[in-house]
A and B are shown apart, each in its own frame.
Chain A
Amino acid sequence: MSSRAADVIPAADRRSPDRPTPDLATSDLPAARTARRGAAAVLLDGVLKRFGTVTALEETRLRVEQGEFLTLLGPSGCGKTTLLNLMAGFLEADAGEILIGGEQVTATPPYERQIGIVFQNYALFPHMSVARNVGYGLRMRGVPKREIAARVEETLALVKLQGFADRSPRQLSGGQQQRVALARALVIRPRVLLLDEPFSALDKNLRGAMQVELKEIQRRLGVTTVFVTHDQGEALSLSDRIVVMSAGRIRQVGTPDEVYRHPQDRFVAGFIGDVNTLPARLETLSGVRATVALGDLRREVEAAALRDRPPGSPVDVFVRPDHLGVRPAGEGGTLPARVAALVYQGSHIDLHADLATGERVVVRVPGQGALATHAPGTAIGLAVPQGGLVAFPPE
């Protein structure tokens, strides 16, 4: 069941109990020492931010658990960076409180928050070597020279950049610069690591590799991470929990599976993954389930979003392209449709079909067989699964 999971699932509980204890020197993370027992890594309580007349972030409550990987996901302009800047202290909230590790930081300047940030363009200091970049935060904290050298080396090893210490950032590839930025943020043992679309400048292959690596490092160090992206695939594959945002509001907080399979509203359903919208009619409502009529078909859906709708009112059913099936025309339990186009996608075919009612749907058909058997114009029966459907009132 989907839920405003923000306050419900402590990250630690979802981890396998045999998770290796963090190695490296991170077991003495200051966060672990100073955080009050049970305190959230970050807590935004009624935080609100306006720019002039634009409300970039409406009153928001969000709890980030110790050690979790939380992703802020949403379209451009929805307030992700604003939220991140509020946590980092680069923006002042117009209302509400921010706590880090249980400590009130609402009025604390960024340089006293002990937060690590990886910027989209890396922001590596061009006039410093890799080692001096990574050691910068330690120098600012007055850490003794010898310890700086040791920790810089250790952290460069962590991001697999041994031997690059004396290079200039300009002499590094995009991926390597990314690692330096990560090392520079991690070496100060931040209470929270913030990343704002860190991979958007990398090409697709490199992005995939860096995602895996970031996740690995994050798991190893157990550092609380807040990650910003507008790429839903990235969010689904990396996160412990996803915060879906739109227009300055949090629409849903949940595990990737929760937001993918149990979206709470139309926006989330449409934003995460590809989806078809089928017009239907509400038949009955009983407890947590509702029955809807899709043409001649009856299907069960979650009732939460339809609770105050009278029977007979129109609803939209959301179904993923890979959950639909193609059957011969006229087969029982299918919706009549006609093939409109076939789009070759390598491992699968996207079959576009027009329903008898006029709606266009996309069906993901594995393999290449459909190319030969379902030429455009072919009449088909569209198989709609029994489970896994969600429905919302029309807009």
Chain B
Amino acid sequence: MTPAIRRRPFLPLFVVPAALVAIAITAGLAAILRFSLHAYVPGSLDVGGFTLDNFADLARPIVLRAMRDTVLICFETALATLILGYPVAYALVRTRSALLKSVILVTAVTPLFLGEVVRTYAWTVVLGNSGFINATLRQFGLIDRPIQFMFTEFGVVVALVHVTLPVMVIMLAAALAHIDRDYEKAAQSLGAGPVRAFLTVTLPLSMPGVVAGFTTAFAWTFSAFATPQVIGGGKVGVVSTLVYQLGLSSFNFPVAASLSLAGLGLALGTMWAVRRAARPLEAMGGH
């Protein structure tokens, strides 16, 4: 043992589980990598010889469309979550009313503990053709045929926003809580109305939280499976559902493996690009 570790006897308690997780993930990735580099043998779960064909297979239109749609859905979801989550986080941090604080916490943050699957099935009840929204609209005579939410990209995004909202609110609230209220007071004393004080001071200072929240929501959505699977119902193809179809419906593990790796690369690549594009924004709020 190194002296550093001996001086912190609790350190192994933290390091050992982390190392086990890292080993498990690496092993998983290695297995996926192995599958992706070997030929598909129809009718068998075993693989053939070494090949790069699986990656060449990904150039098919259905795969490319899924990748494009995935990135689009992630953007739309992250953006919508940000726009919805910001006012909620702001109210959570700034309100003096303990009641409002608890209401926000319960409605916006506790769904985090419900899990994606439960929340997704809840949305099928709301979005379905005879679900809550359509039933209500019909009751008031606003529509005579149900509006199609299920199996549409819009429906998927709505449900994904709900799934990512708690994390967004927590991250934005953490950023906003760090902003001294005196900044806004100073801005107001200098002649800025509440809206201008917010736009010129609070918003720029919260940019690190905005960028962090956006990228987290983006990554979260990218890996979402249950929501696009259930709400999209096979009509909305994203990378995760396509991997599932290839792997567990067609048992084509090698192509599924190469698609997962490509998806991972795509996710990391877009997030790197997002962070890079947001760097000037983030710098605004550096404390």
Contacts and interface: CB of A to CB of B under 8 A. Distances in A.
Interface of A: 88, 90, 109-117, 119, 121, 123, 125-127, 136-137, 140-141, 184-185, 188
Given A112-B191, A117-B186, A140-B187, 13 more contacts: A113-B189, A119-B185, A119-B186, A123-B185, A125-B187, A125-B201, A126-B285, A126-B287, A127-B285, A136-B190, A136-B192, A140-B191, A141-B191
A88 B190 contact: no
A187 B204 CA distance: 23
B182 A126 contact: no
Contacts of B185: 88, 90, 110, 117, 119, 123
Nearest to B283: A127
Contacts of B287: 126
A140 B196 contact: yes
B50 interface: no
A123 B205 contact: no
A110 B190 CA distance: 8
Contact of B190 (A90, A109, A188): A188
B268 to A, nearest CB: 29
B132 interface: no
Nearest to B284: A127
Contacts of A111: 188-194, 197
A188 B196 CA distance: 17
A126 B285 CA distance: 7
Contacts, number: 67
Most buried by B among A110, A136, A137: A110
B192 A123 contact: no
Given A119-B185, A121-B180, A140-B196, A127 B204 contact: yes
Contacts of B272: none
Interface string B35-69: 00000000000000000000000000000000000
Interface hub of B186, B201, B205 (most chain A Cβ within 10 A): B186
Contacts of A119: 182, 185-186
- Top 5 A-B residue pairs of the complex, sorted by shortest distance between their CB atoms: A137-B190, A123-B182, A140-B191, A123-B186, A117-B189
B186 A140 contact: no
A88 B196 CA distance: 18
B202 to A, nearest CB: 10
Contacts of A112: 191
Nearest to A181: B186
Given A119-B182, A119-B185, A121-B180, A126 B286 contact: yes
B265 to A, nearest CB: 34
Contact of A140 (B180, B183, B192, B284): B192
Which of B191, B192, B193 has the most chain A CB within a 10 Å cutoff?
A: B191
Interface of B: 180, 182-183, 185-194, 196-197, 200-201, 204-205, 284-287
Contacts of B190: 111, 136-137, 140, 184-185, 188
B180 A123 contact: yes
A109 B285 CA distance: 27
Contacts of A90: 185, 188
Contacts of B285: 126-127
Contacts of B194: 111
B122 to A, nearest CB: 40
B221 to A, nearest CB: 29
Nearest to A126: B287
A119 B189 CA distance: 11
Contact of B182 (A121, A127, A185): A121
Nearest to B182: A123
A116 B284 contact: no
A110 B188 contact: yes
18 contacts: A90-B188, A109-B188, A110-B188, A111-B193, A111-B194, A112-B191, A114-B191, A117-B189, A119-B185, A121-B180, A121-B182, A123-B183, A123-B186, A126-B287, A127-B284, A136-B200, A184-B190, A185-B190
A179 to B, nearest CB: 15
Contact of A115 (B189, B193, B286): B189
Nearest to B189: A117
A110 to B, nearest CB: 4
Given A90-B185, A119-B182, A119-B186, A127 B286 contact: yes
Nearest to B184: A123
Contacts of B193: 109, 111
Contacts of A121: 180, 182
B272 to A, nearest CB: 24
B186 A127 contact: no
B40 to A, nearest CB: 54
Given A121-B180, A121-B182, A125-B183, A88 B205 contact: no
A120 B213 CA distance: 32
A119 B200 CA distance: 19
A135 B183 CA distance: 15
Nearest to B197: A111
A144 to B, nearest CB: 15
Contact of A116 (B182, B187, B189, B205): B189
